[in-house]
Amino acid sequence: MSERNKAIARVAFEVWSTGDLHRLDDHISPDVIHHDPYDPNGAAGLAGMKKTIQASRSIRPDLRIKIEDQLAEGDKVATRWTATMTHDGKEVTIGGITIDRFENGKIVEAWRSMDRLGLLRQTGAIADQ
């Protein structure tokens, strides 16, 4: 079960990189809850998740996510990842960790934490101290 759940979690990350939203339908619960304070669509289920991915890719079409580590235990998969994208002609990166919870072979809940401060510094939105 753990390897299967890890593979399903990887599909979600691949969709962030490719924009192939239809791939989520078989792997994400329609009423998934996404705990991310920066995601305005986190409580809107699969439709909200698709909306967030689509919006992100519309402003960052070269967004790519690389999975660095993945661990699974019980009904959860933890994934450490790094995303790269272009901002004002410069490549920037952001790292994060996502924990997905599974029921009946689908992601039903997810928690995401990422280095927003590091990204803001790379883009010049916040000056290095």
Rounded Cα distance, 45 and 109, in Å: 9
What are 49-89's pLDDT values in tens digits? 999 999 999 999 999 999 999 999 999 999 999 999 999 99
Within 10 A of 115 (CB to CB), how many other CB atoms are there? 15
Question: What is the predicted pLDDT for the residue at 128?
Answer: 76
End-to-end CA distance of the chain: 46
Six-digit token string for 29: 């619960």
Domain ranges of the chain: 2-123
φ and ψ at residue 54, rounded to 5 degrees = -60, -45
Question: What is the predicted pLDDT for the residue at 79?
Answer: 98
Q: Does the pLDDT value for residue 40 go beyond 80?
A: yes
What would be the CATH architecture of the domain defined by 2-123? Roll (3.10)
- Please give the average per-residue pLDDT across 25-33, as a whole number: 97
- Please give the average per-residue pLDDT across 13-33, as a whole number: 97
pTM here? 0.93
Six-digit token string for 26: 């078989």
Within 10 A of 102 (CB to CB), how many other CB atoms are there? 22
